[in-house]
Every structure is written in C-alpha cells, then in structure tokens.
Structure 1
Amino acid sequence: MPDVRSICAIGLRGQMGLNGSLPWEGNTDPEFTADVARFFDITRGHVLIAGEKTIGAIPDFARNDRTLFVIRRDMQPEKVLAQFPDRVVFIGGGPVAWGAYAPFIRHWDINRLPYDGEADRWFDPQWLTAGGPG
C-alpha cells in the first residue's frame, strides 16, 4: 500500500471551490502564489491522483516530474492505490476525490489562505476522521 496523503488549500471558513474552480483562482497576492508553488514542490517526484479537470489543469512544466493519474467515480480506491505500491500518493481534486479516498489518507496537508469570499464547495472535517478500509 502506498503512503497516501492529501494536499489542499482552504479559505478562512473552509472554502474550497466556486463554480468548478478555486475561489481565489488568478489571485497574484504572495500568499496565493506561494501556495501554488508549494503544491508543485511538495508533489514533485510523487504520484498525484485526481479527477480529469484537476489533472488537466497541471501546467506543462509540472507534468514530467510527477506521475499523474486520472480517477473516475466508478474506480475503486483500493484498486487504484494498489497500482502505486511503495510510492507517496497525493489525492487531489476536491470534495468528490477526498470523500472517496479519505479512509486511506494518512497525512492531510491543509494550507489556510486569507480568502473569505464566496464558495459552493467546502472542506468537510469528517474526512479527517474517516475510518480506514475494512
């Protein structure tokens, strides 16, 4: 079984998404650009598992120094993770992915950003205590 982790950013009240994007998308303030750079630094050399939209948003410069794997709703997390034994695997892509993979995530890396605006997707604290498989 791989070492399964998650890395995400949330707003001040747990905001995660708005209309299918990050609510702070395009914000060039230092805290936001540092968060993006940190994401690419931490996931470098590892596996990033996420939905098609998230994987599709990975820029060209970051595609060769990490393993990218697109997940779909009908895939069983155990079978997906079994493809990456002895690797560090990051689960990305938002609430659907984290809801499915939460029981397998050993380490949550959550960066709280100074965003306090609108959202339609929120971090669910129950993911942190989701029971492990079997």
Structure 2
Amino acid sequence: MADVRSMCAIGLRGQLGLRGGLPWEGRKEPEFSADVARFFALTRGHVLLVGPATKSSIPAFAYADRTVVGIRSGDDPASVIAAFPDRVVYVGGGPAVWKSYAPLIQHWDITRLPYDGEADRWFDPAWLTAA
C-alpha cells in the first residue's frame, strides 16, 4: 500500500492560491525560498500527483528525480493511488484535488508562511479529518 502524504504552504489566514498560482509567487524572502527548496527536497524520489494547473507550474528539472502524474477531477483517487504500491505518494494541486484525495491522505505537512494578502483559494481544515 502507498504511503499517501500531502505537502502545502498556506498564508496566515489559510491562503492557498491566487489566479492559478501561489499568492506569494516570486517573493524572495528566506521563508518563501526555503519552503520551495524543502518541497523539492522532500518529494525527491517519490510520486507527485497533481492537478493540471500545478503540473503546468512544475519546472522541467523536477521531472528528473520524481514521478509526476497529472490527475483529473473524474479520476478515482483510490485507483490512482493503487497504481503506486509501496511508494510514497504526495498529493498536490489545490482545493479540488485535496477535497477528493483528503480521505486517503495519511500525513499532512503544512507550512504557514508570513503572507497575509489576497487569495482566491483557501485551505479547508476539514480536509485534515476527512474519512
């Protein structure tokens, strides 16, 4: 069975996204740079299941040392994950993806960043206890 995890960063009020990207995209402060580096370090060698917008934002270098799989809203989450037995599988891609996959996620790794600005996508704490 796969070890299913999710890793995300949220702003001070739970902000996740803005216009299809990260609300803090391009910020150079150490906390933001460290979060991106940590994401790529921890997902190295593992499977990364992502929605279309997230997949389009993954840099080319990341494909060399992780298995990146695009997922769609019509996919059955259990079937997608079953394709990767005995692997660590990270689920990413925003609210629609997390709402569908939350009942299967065994470990949430959430970083709170010092961002308190605009957003149009928000983290839902109910995902943490979905069954």
User: Same fold judged by TM-score > 0.5?
Assistant: yes
Q: Which amino acid aligns with 2:92?
A: G
Structure 2 counterpart of 1:49? 49
CA distance in 2, matches of 1:66, 1:3: 15
Q: CA offset at residue 51 of structure 1? A: 0.9
Shift of 1:13: 0.6
Q: CA separation in 2, counterparts of 1:122 and 1:101?
A: 16
Offset at residue 56 of structure 1 (A): 1.9
Answering whether residue 92 of structure 2 is matched by residue 92 of structure 1, we say: yes
DSSP-derived class of the 1:110 partner: strand
Question: Which residue of structure 2 lines up, in the alignment, with residue 32 of structure 1?
Answer: 32
Partner residue, 2:21:
21
| Runs (5+) with no aligned partner, structure 2 | none
Q: Percent identity?
A: 67
Offset at 1:86? 0.3
What is the number of equivalent residue pairs in this alignment?
131
Matches within 5 A, 1:1-134: 1-131=1-131
* Runs of 4+ that moved beyond 4 A: none
Q: How far 1:18 moved relative to its partner?
A: 1.0
Which residue identity lines up with residue 69 of structure 2 in the other structure? Answer: F
TM-score normalised by the chain length of structure 2? 0.98
TM-score by length of 1: 0.96
Distance 2:110 2:60 in 1: 25
Identify unmatched segments of 5+ residues in structure 1: none
C-alpha separation in 1, matches of 2:22 and 2:53: 12
